[in-house]
Amino acid sequence: MRFQTLLLTAFAFLIISCNSDQKTNQDTPALSKTKALVQKSAQQKKEIMNLSAFLEIDENHLIPFKLLKNKNDDFLIVQNGVEEIKVVDYRWNENELHFTMPIFNSEVTAKLLGENLEGEWIKNPRDEKEYKMNFHAYSNLNQNIIPPRFTDYNLQMAAGDKVEAQAGGLWSVKFSPETEDEYPAIGEFKQTGNDLSGTFRTETGDYRFLAGKIYGDQFYLSCFDGSHAFLFTGVVENDKIKGEFFSGKHWREPFIAQKNAKAKLPNPNELTYLNNKSEKVAFSFPNLEGQNKSFDDLIKDNKALIVQIFGSWCPNCMDETRFYNDLYKNYKSKGVEFVGVAYERNGTLEKDKTFLEKYIREMDIKYPILYGGKASKKLASEQFPMLNKIISFPTTIFIDKNGNVKRIHTGFNGPATSIYNDYVKETKELLDKLAA
């Protein structure tokens, strides 16, 4: 009961600050005790619900994040390193917590059992291909009740008195080295004492906001954003890293890295190109109401056109969409139109419409969205035959007012990366030219 009381204290702000339909008519003894504890906590200015949460890959590998709630807020916060994700769709009924992640089709349901909240994170819930991982959460009101395997205890013990290795900087990375699946990346990390953060950049996009710890020569970095559930572990030896990458509980692969301040990847503006430089882009896809919209429909009145090939399931696409939404507000009046062509999980408009509507609503997308079909790079390549290939969601085609393709950008390295601000500047400069 000790932990239950502490956890209820942590969650009590959910009970007393939510709308009246979340309240019970009569206080139970447990709730009365909880309210008394809340009043005491408030006096001590403990006004934040603060839980250490974990997704479980296996007994030895966990993906940690924070679950927070400010006293007067009507939303939760999933904190992943420097990223804070606002979760407005949640409920806390007696001993059960349920919340639905924004943007992506995933949710967490957990019950208070013994010394922690236990439940599941479910991706694509109620779908025949739903994906589950065990979920745990512990109140930080008392660190002593968190079992050692949910802490950094083992890494700290293994490190002993070792001085922390220096993992900060740029690294040339190979995932699945010396196999047919090998692909390059750049690791860019920041280290302050035991704290480690950063991301990996690949040819098709970045692994978003990673955060973790380093003890001695061993480190971990992780990310949970509602779609991604990533864990990277590794050992630093001088200027080399040997590690493993876990994508949820279904995929793991090795990686190696060499420190390299001049690490580079291929130019994302050269990976996808027109088969014939003089060829024009042409297409026709249905909107969410099933009405076909063509390239010509979108460029009426002498407009330039930005074509975003994306998927609502894709976190890199989400980052790109936020950026394009801001651009659209500023450039629409200057004769630059945007359109998104979505490739989705189910492959039919009837099944995918709900998820696209949620994406549009929660992202507050103002530019038109069309439906391309199933999330398949092969299908997308077939539907844009004037291009050599589509190798990434997202891919963006920049077209001037004369119908000429001025740039094709593959992938998206977003705000977690060191090159994001340069891309923002370059893209605005290009749109200024297209608007002229």
pLDDT exceeds 60 at position 177:
yes
Q: Please, are residues 336 and 430 in contact by the beta-carbon 8 Å criterion?
A: no
Identify the residue with better confidence: 26 or 320: 320
* CATH 3.40.30.10 domain span(s) along the chain: 284-435
pLDDT computed for residue 143 by the predictor? 75
Angle between helices 315-331 and 349-363 (to 10 degrees): 60
Average pLDDT for residues 210-238, to the nearest whole number?
97
pTM: 0.88
pLDDT digit string, tens, across residues 97-109: 999 999 999 999 9
pLDDT computed for residue 315 by the predictor? 96
Q: Please, are residues 352 and 346 in contact by the beta-carbon 8 Å criterion?
A: yes
pLDDT digit string, tens, across residues 133-168: 999 999 887 777 788 999 999 999 999 999 999 999
Identify the residue with better confidence: 81 or 256: 256
pLDDT exceeds 70 at position 10:
no
Of 20, 7, 10, nearest to 68 by C-alpha is 10
pLDDT computed for residue 141 by the predictor? 76
* CATH 2.40.128.120 domain span(s) along the chain: 154-259
pLDDT digit string, tens, across residues 259-274: 999 999 999 999 999 9
pLDDT exceeds 80 at position 176:
yes
Question: Percent of the chain at pLDDT above 70?
Answer: 89
Least confident of 111-115, 120-124, 206-210, 375-379: 111-115
Average pLDDT for residues 71-93, to the nearest whole number?
93
pLDDT computed for residue 208 by the predictor? 97
Residue 269 to residue 236: CA distance in whole angstroms? 33
Least confident of 8-12, 204-208, 362-366: 8-12
Mention every residue, 6+ apart, whose C-beta is less than 8 A from residue 31.
15, 24
Average pLDDT for residues 330-335, to the nearest whole number?
95
Residue 359 to residue 315: CA distance in whole angstroms? 12
* CATH 2.40.160 domain span(s) along the chain: 2-151
Residue 308, both tokens = 């975003």
pLDDT digit string, tens, across residues 360-392: 999 999 999 999 999 999 999 999 999 999 999
Residue 306, both tokens = 């930005």
Q: How confident is the model at residue 48 (pLDDT cuts 50, 70, 90)?
A: low
Average pLDDT for residues 81-96, to the nearest whole number?
92
Distances in Å between the Cα of 344 and the Cα atoms of 116, 322, 327, 368, 380 are 36, 18, 24, 16, 11
Identify the residue with better confidence: 44 or 115: 115
CATH top class, domain 2-151 = mainly beta
Average pLDDT for residues 175-204, to the nearest whole number?
97
Average pLDDT for residues 272-288, to the nearest whole number?
95
pLDDT exceeds 70 at position 295:
yes
| Average confidence score pLDDT of the chain | 90
Q: How confident is the model at residue 23 (pLDDT cuts 50, 70, 90)?
A: very low
The bridge status of strand 304-310 relative to strand 336-344 is parallel
Residue 405 to residue 397: CA distance in whole angstroms? 7
Q: Please, are residues 223 and 207 in contact by the beta-carbon 8 Å criterion?
A: yes
pLDDT computed for residue 390 by the predictor? 98
Residue 327, both tokens = 């651009």
Tell me whether residue 278 is exposed, middle or buried, using C-beta atoms within 10 angstroms of its C-beta: 0 to 12, 13 to 18, 19 or more.
exposed
Tell me which CATH code domain 154-259 carries: 2.40.128.120
Residue 136, both tokens = 């745990």
For 284-435, the fitting CATH number among 1.50.10.10, 3.40.30.10, 1.20.1090.10, 1.20.120.80 is 3.40.30.10
pLDDT computed for residue 49 by the predictor? 76
pLDDT computed for residue 7 by the predictor? 47
Residue 229 to residue 245: CA distance in whole angstroms? 11
pLDDT exceeds 70 at position 413:
yes
Residue 151 to residue 161: CA distance in whole angstroms? 18
pLDDT exceeds 50 at position 6:
no
